[in-house]
């Protein structure tokens, strides 16, 4: 059995699609998806990893992910308020009543936290990381004991033949507001990342090298010191399913409260209590 590591915010946003009726559709969709994922992989431990601040990357590039804030502001305020209200309720339930480790580092992003959890583990332990964030592909380059599961495509991501961080540092990442080297798209970046001689020649131009080095630092996961690792918080749940059942009753999740379905839900997580 592997350790299952879940990108929390990625999973929350996935829960925004699907069943949309009632006062808490995000809670409903999340619980169904979460149980199904745990049942599928039958892990010996689950890490549910929340976001922290991206301070180091914003110090390097102040506009890092600034486009996401603009996008969020453009959406309906009430819709966002409802979404985050449900997210907070889910997090509270997971922290207090589920046999999983809800973890967060206040000064690092979820990606870095997952990277450091894997890095601190013994290589004989298998890990499955669940996220459709392509940045996690770099885990496949570095660790042989990691698999990346894309919950949207419902398939594992293949390990690339080239270095992912090099490729992305060349072409940039529009989703994170990281501009690439002018004139370099996916195809050119792949060609350069696959040929060290071409890459060395291309980066001999100072302007190209400066952008590449900056992007490489922005994209590559950040390793922690022992002192930084000690700042990570981890939940300490108690074995009590009543708060979850009361939440299901409050929102009238009738399909989840059917005796057989509810028992299946509990049975999925019981082994994780150890």
**The pLDDT of residue 72 is above 60:** no
Q: Region 217-245: what's the mean pLDDT?
A: 96
User: What pTM does this model have?
Assistant: 0.94
Percent with pLDDT over 90 in the chain: 88
What class is the 3-160+222-267 domain? alpha beta
Distance, CA of 27 to CA of 9 (rounded, Å): 13
Compute the distance between CA of residue 246 and CA of residue 175 in angstroms, rounded to an integer.
38
Per-residue pLDDT, averaged over 3-16, amounts to 96
pLDDT band at 26 (very low <50, low <70, confident <90, very high): very high
Averaged pLDDT of the chain: 94
Q: For the segment 153-211, what is each residue's pLDDT rounded down to a tens digit?
A: 999 999 999 999 999 999 999 989 999 999 999 999 999 999 999 999 999 999 999 99
User: pLDDT band at 143, cuts 50/70/90?
Assistant: very high
Under 8 Å CB-to-CB from 137, ≥6 apart: which residues? Answer: 148, 157, 159, 160, 164
Position 77 scores a pLDDT of 77
pLDDT at 35 over 60: yes
Alpha helices in the chain (DSSP H): 8-14, 25-41, 55-60, 66-74, 77-97, 110-119, 137-142, 164-171, 186-193, 196-202, 206-219, 226-229, 242-250, 254-257, 259-269
Separation of alpha carbons 248 and 256, rounded Å = 7
pLDDT at residue number 168: 97
Give residue 21's pLDDT band: very low, low, confident or very high (50, 70, 90).
Answer: confident
With cut-offs at 50, 70 and 90, classify the pLDDT of residue 268. very high
Q: In what order do the strands lie in the sheet with 155-156?
A: 155-156, 146-150, 127-130, 3-7, 45-49, 101-104, 233-234
Mean pLDDT, range 67-73, rounded to an integer: 61
Q: In the chain, which residues fall in CATH 3.40.50.1010?
A: 3-160+222-267
Bridge partner list, 130? 6, 149
CATH 1.10.150.20 domain residues, the chain = 164-219
pLDDT of 251 reads 95
Rg (CA), the chain: 20
CB 119 within 8 Å of CB 223? yes
pLDDT at 76: 73
pLDDT digits (tens, 9 = 90+) for 40-53: 999 999 999 999 99
The percent of residues above 70 in pLDDT, for the chain, comes to: 97
Q: Taking every pair of C-alpha atoms in the chain, what is the biggest distance, in angstroms?
A: 67
CA angle 240, 245, 246 (to 5 degrees): 105
CATH 2.60.40.10 assigned to 164-219: no
């Amino acid at each position: 059995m592997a350790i299952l590591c879940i990108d929390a915010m990625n999973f929350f946003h996935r829960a925004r699609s699907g069943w949309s009726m009632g006062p808490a559709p995000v809670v409903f969709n999340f619980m169904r998806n979460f149980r199904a994922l745990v049942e599928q992989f039958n892990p010996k431990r689950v890490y549910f990893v929340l976001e922290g601040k991206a301070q180091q990357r914003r110090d390097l590039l102040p506009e890092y992910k600034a486009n996401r804030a603009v996008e969020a502001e453009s959406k309906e305020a009430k819709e966002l308020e409802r979404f985050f209200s449900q997210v907070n309720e889910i997090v509270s339930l997971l922290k207090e009543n589920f046999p999983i480790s809800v973890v967060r580092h206040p000064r690092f992003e979820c990606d870095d936290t997952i990277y450091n959890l894997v890095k601190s583990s013994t290589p004989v332990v298998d890990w499955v990381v669940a996220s459709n964030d392509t940045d996690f592909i770099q885990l496949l380059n570095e660790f042989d004991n990691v698999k990346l599961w894309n919950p949207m495509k419902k398939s594992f991501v293949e390990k690339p033949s080239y270095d992912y961080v090099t490729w992305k540092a060349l072409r940039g990442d529009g989703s994170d507001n990281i501009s690439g080297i002018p004139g370099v798209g996916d195809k050119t970046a792949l060609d350069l990342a696959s040929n060290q001689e071409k890459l060395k020649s291309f980066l001999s131009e100072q302007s190209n090298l400066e952008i590449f080095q900056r992007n490489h630092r922005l994209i590559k996961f950040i390793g922690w010191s022992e002192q930084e690792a000690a700042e990570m918080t981890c939940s300490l749940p108690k074995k009590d399913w009543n708060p979850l059942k009361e939440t299901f009753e409050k929102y009238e999740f009738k399909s989840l409260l059917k005796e057989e379905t509810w028992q299946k839900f509990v049975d999925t997580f019981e082994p994780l209590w150890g």
